[in-house]
Amino acid sequence: MHDISIRPYQKEDREALRQICCDVADRGGPIESFFPDREIAADLLTQYYTDYEPQSSFVAVNQGRVVGYINCSLDNRRYGLVLLWILMPQLLAKAIKRGLFFKPQVQEMFKGALKNWRRLFSWRKKSFHSHQGHIHIGIAADSRGKGAAKQLVSALIEYSQGRGIDELTASVHGGNEKAVSFFESQGFVVRERNSMVIIRNGKEEHYYSFIYGKTIQTPNTLVSAAL
């Protein structure tokens, strides 16, 4: 039996969480395969959750070591506003200072973003719906297949119940077959499917970005169902 326990995120977990996030950001592999600055990537992908809504995150621990995490925002509207007006200006200033925009990988990302403009700038009905949350999950490579991800999702869903959330969503790269299989096994279903392009080493890679969603059974819903 694997000795993995789940507990609420603590500020001491911040660096371990950021490390895991960047280690698995590219379909389970390191983020450096498409983005050259690990610190800025960690800021973009994790800072909102660790600094502005830490109470909605959980970590998986094995023998005292953080081996996985699940980050969550229970209010997509707040997440979007903090990201747009607070975090993005800070990240832009840091990126300019570090000369990030001169790096070939970043220039390729911008070229890809231009091809994905319909997905990146289109309005989605529930993008800022305050009663919908979203999650981001990461498991260290040597701890996969041991039940940590399932336990983290269960802990987060239990936490979400009774807090006014009617749905949790997760964005999944279509090429990450293990992630797709996992979310479907946990009762998530595809809400959106978007055709995307990423450019690596001058070559275009085409894939689908899936938005998976799961309806949250609140205490009131459970009572109604029982009746």
Residue 158's CATH number: 3.40.630.30
> Residue 195: phi, psi to the nearest 5?
-75, 130
Distance CA 91, CA 96 (A): 9
Average pLDDT in the 181-191 region? 96
Q: How many domains does the chain have?
A: 1
173 pLDDT band (50/70/90 cuts)?
very high
Q: pTM for this one?
A: 0.90
Domain that holds residue 9: 4-226
208 residue type, one letter: Y
Q: What is the pLDDT of residue 118?
A: 66
pLDDT band (50, 70, 90) for residue 71: very high
How would residue 85 be classed by pLDDT, with cut points 50, 70 and 90? very high
Higher pLDDT, 71 or 113: 71
pLDDT tens figures, 49-67: 999 999 999 999 999 999 9
Helix/strand/coil for 37: coil
